[in-house]
């Protein structure tokens, strides 16, 4: 390598040399006062480079600042100041000469326009220079690690490697000085005379090295200030976030809020929040999407859900955060072929030492000057703290939800107990009233029959007596049903064939079916085991359902009756093609006194339900325009009848 390493010191001896030293010291003092007059990194960078290029100071044509990125282990260009062409250089120098700008004026302009300095074409070029710290052949890396000054003369035929390293800024002859603080290399300043072609003398190199050395403390202070400001902002954000996520106890709202905040505070394009749920009937855990936020939530939950679930599963399994800066090169995710995402960050949600889920965020929004979408360690630390807060909030919301559900069940139980108590009282009253009414009602019917027997059939009084007899019969049936519902008589079970009971019950309604010119499609399953049943009560169930079907089936219609074996026992199916039962009535069909028939008591199906329940069975009903109304009575098979 033909670059020459210099340790340049001012020449000694004589009054002129002493005066020169005083001038240099005065200049460095003024420059340092400018550099230390601000704490913002952009302004410090602009001030340092302006001092290097100002004619009143070091007088180089151009200057560039490089800083070490310790997290990524690279040296990257940060800012460049100077003209981008010879014509621009001439115009700038003529303007400054005619305006009579002082060094203070130049520094003031640089500090005020620090933001614009980052966006210049020269700054964009230098930011394209990124050198891995492991590249020991790099002159830039050597300058920082060895903390030495290098000077590459423009006419010294530098190595091709040196030319290639600084090709974006087209610098062929330059001085390179380390930026040092507390004995540690933080970066480097490169200065050249590209447009004047002036030789870089020892005095310029010496001053550049001295300025770079002094600038190190300013850069270190700016970094510390930036870190402190960022941490303060993070604390403020976390405080606001904590208030927000603890402001609701609704689990759904909580999950959506956490997903949104996670993406917003990290400037991420999207986020997905996963929860762990235990699978029913197994000890395994399942991961499900609880909420998502960002650009194209449907895409995140759909196409990206596999990626997010894999990342969350990895973080949950390891119980530690997962940071993927380059998804395409990471072997754990490269096979998924998702080109829209380049970086992701996932942290597990841990509450009371139990992992309950994970938060995954995708791609940071590009921020100048580097426009990187990758997350860094600061993002990882911040999301981890946020995840701890979120886990507590989720657990609290779950507890509140459980409490609300328990309170709801308690209120339902209390309401049911009160209803049962009222029904028991009503049953007792009904039973007593029915007994008191039955005797006089029987007497009325008996007297009416006796009187009618002695009257001529054409007698008008015989017709009125027929009305009395018909109504007393109806009232006696109603009393019988009420007493049956209220008494809860014990069932007397014997081994019985359900098919035989169905056939016997059908014999009881043969005449009713013929009168309406209806038909019954009977299909009985073979080889059905006997059941332990109260024959009379089950026949009462079947008779009630059959008469209900006959009443609802239009004249000439067909009623379908069948028996079949099901997993839970034996089922009797009765279907009629009549009008469907209204939805409001369907939900209350087995409630006592609920009926849609003008002459119905509303007790028949309630008694049916009670008898089936006494046998340990179930009854359900479906009703629609297409299929009509279907009742299904399922009775359990006794183990000894298997």
DSSP 213-245: HHHHHHHHHHHHHHHHHHHHHHHHHHHHHHHHH
Q: Which of 487, 510, 540 is the last residue of a domain?
A: 487
> For the domain that residue 458 is a member of, what is the CATH number?
1.10.287
Residues 463, 393, single domain; the answer is no
pLDDT of residue 639: 47
Structure confidence at residue 464 (pLDDT):
83
* pLDDT of the residue at 178: 94
Are 525 and 395 in a shared domain? no
Query: Do 390 and 448 belong together in one domain?
Result: no
The answer to whether the CB of 142 falls within 8 A of the CB of 159 is: no
Same domain for 220 and 248, yes or no, is no
Q: What angle do helix axes 103-112 and 14-35 make, rounded to 10 degrees?
A: 30
Half-sphere exposure of 520 (CA within 13 A, CB side): 22
Residues 382 and 235: their CA atoms lie apart, in Å, by 9
Q: Report yes or no on 236 lying in a domain.
A: no
On whether both 332 and 349 belong to a single domain, the answer is yes
Q: Total domain count for the chain? A: 4
Within 488-620, residue ranges assigned H as helices are 498-508, 510-515, 535-552, 583-586, 604-614
pLDDT of residue 468: 83
Residues 432 and 540 in one domain: no
Q: Do residues 353 and 279 share a domain?
A: yes
170: region left, alpha or beta (phi > 0 left; psi from -120 to 50 alpha): left
Host domain of residue 568: 494-641
DSSP at 591: S
Whether 352 and 483 share a structural domain: no
CATH number, residue 195: 3.30.450.40
Q: What is the pLDDT of residue 571?
A: 94
Give the domain CATH number at 597: 3.30.565.10
Positive or negative CA dihedral for 515, 520, 526, 532? Answer: negative
Angle at 457 between CA 456 and CA 463, to 5 degrees: 115
Domain boundary among 487, 502, 526: 487
Q: Determine, yes or no, domain membership for 232.
A: no
Q: Which two tokens stand for residue 620?
A: 């359900």
Tell me the whole-structure pTM to 2 decimals.
0.49
Q: For residue 268, what pLDDT is reported? A: 83
From the first residue on, what is the mean pLDDT of each consecutive set of 10 residues in the chain (642 residues)?
40 39 58 72 86 81 91 88 81 74 77 81 89 90 91 73 84 89 91 86 86 85 79 70 69 82 81 78 69 64 66 83 80 68 85 86 68 76 84 83 85 81 73 72 78 80 80 71 61 89 90 90 91 88 90 91 91 92 79 58 75 90 90 81 44
Residue at 555 is within a domain: yes
**CA 493 to centroid of chain Cα atoms:** 56
Helices and strands (H, E) in the chain, number of each type: 19, 19
Burial class (CB in 10 A: 0-12, 13-18, 19+), 184: middle
Is 68 found in the same domain as 192? yes
Q: Rounded CA gap, 62 and 85, in Å?
A: 11
């Amino acid at each position: 390598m033909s670059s020459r390493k210099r340790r340049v010191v001012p020449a000694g001896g004589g009054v002129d040399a002493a005066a020169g030293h005083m001038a240099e010291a005065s200049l460095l003092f003024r420059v340092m006062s400018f550099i230390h007059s601000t704490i913002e990194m952009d302004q410090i960078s602009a001030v340092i480079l302006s001092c290097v290029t100002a004619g009143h100071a070091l007088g180089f044509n151009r200057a560039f600042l490089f800083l070490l990125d310790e997290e990524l282990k690279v040296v990257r260009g940060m800012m460049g100041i100077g003209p981008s062409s010879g014509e621009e250089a001439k115009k700038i120098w003529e303007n400054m000469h005619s305006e009579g700008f002082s060094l203070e004026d130049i520094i003031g302009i640089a500090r005020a326009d620090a933001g614009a300095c980052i966006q210049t074409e020269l700054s964009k070029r230098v930011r394209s220079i990124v050198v891995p710290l492991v590249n020991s052949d790099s002159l830039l890396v050597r300058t920082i690690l060895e903390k030495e000054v290098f000077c590459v003369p423009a006419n010294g035929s530098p190595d091709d490697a040196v030319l290639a390293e600084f090709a974006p800024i087209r610098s062929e002859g330059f001085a390179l000085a380390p930026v040092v603080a507390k004995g540690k290399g933080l970066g480097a300043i490169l200065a050249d005379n590209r447009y004047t072609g002036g030789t870089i003398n020892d005095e310029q190199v010496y001053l550049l090295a001295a300025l770079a050395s002094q600038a190190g403390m300013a850069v270190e202070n700016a970094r510390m200030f930036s870190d402190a400001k960022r941490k303060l902002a993070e604390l403020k954000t976390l405080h606001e976030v904590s208030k927000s996520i603890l402001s609701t106890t609704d689990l759904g709202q909580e999950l959506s809020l956490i997903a949104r905040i996670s993406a917003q505070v990290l400037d991420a394009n999207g986020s997905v929040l996963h929860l762990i749920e235990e699978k029913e009937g197994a000890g395994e855990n399942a991961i499900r999407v609880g909420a998502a936020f960002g650009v194209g939530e449907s895409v995140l939950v759909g196409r990206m859900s596999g990626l997010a679930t894999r990342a969350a599963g990895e973080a949950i399994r390891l119980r530690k955060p997962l940071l993927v800066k380059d998804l395409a090169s990471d072997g754990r995710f490269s096979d998924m072929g998702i080109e829209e995402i380049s970086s992701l960050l996932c942290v597990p949600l841990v509450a009371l030492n139990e992992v309950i889920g994970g938060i995954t965020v995708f791609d940071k929004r590009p921020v100048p000057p580097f426009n990187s979408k990758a997350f860094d360690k600061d993002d990882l630390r911040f999301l981890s703290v946020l995840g701890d807060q979120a886990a507590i909030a989720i657990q609290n919301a779950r507890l509140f939800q459980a409490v609300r559900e328990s309170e709801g069940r308690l209120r339902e139980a209390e309401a049911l107990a009160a209803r049962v108590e009222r029904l028991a009282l009503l049953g007792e009253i009904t039973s007593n009233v029915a007994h008191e009414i039955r005797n006089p009602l029987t007497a009325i019917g008996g007297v009416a029959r006796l009187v009618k027997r002695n009257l001529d059939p054409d007698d008008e009084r015989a017709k009125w007596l027929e009305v009395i007899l018909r109504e007393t019969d109806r009232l006696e049936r109603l009393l019988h049903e009420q007493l049956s519902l209220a008494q809860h008589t014990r069932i007397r079970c014997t081994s019985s064939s359900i098919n035989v009971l169905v056939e016997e019950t059908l014999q009881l309604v043969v005449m009713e079916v013929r009168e309406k010119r209806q038909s019954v499609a009977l299909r009985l399953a073979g080889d059905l085991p006997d059941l332990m049943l109260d024959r009379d009560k089950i026949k009462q169930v079947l008779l009630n359902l059959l008469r209900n079907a006959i009443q609802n089936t239009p004249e000439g219609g067909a009623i379908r009756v069948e028996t079949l074996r099901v997993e839970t026992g034996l089922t009797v199916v009765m279907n009629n093609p009549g009008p469907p039962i209204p939805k409001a009535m369907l939900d209350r069909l087995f409630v006592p006194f609920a009926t849609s028939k003008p002459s119905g008591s509303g007790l028949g199906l309630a008694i049916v339900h009670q008898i089936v329940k006494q046998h340990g069975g179930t009854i359900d009903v479906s009703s629609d325009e297409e299929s009509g109304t279907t009742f299904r009575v399922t009775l359990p098979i006794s183990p000894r009848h298997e």
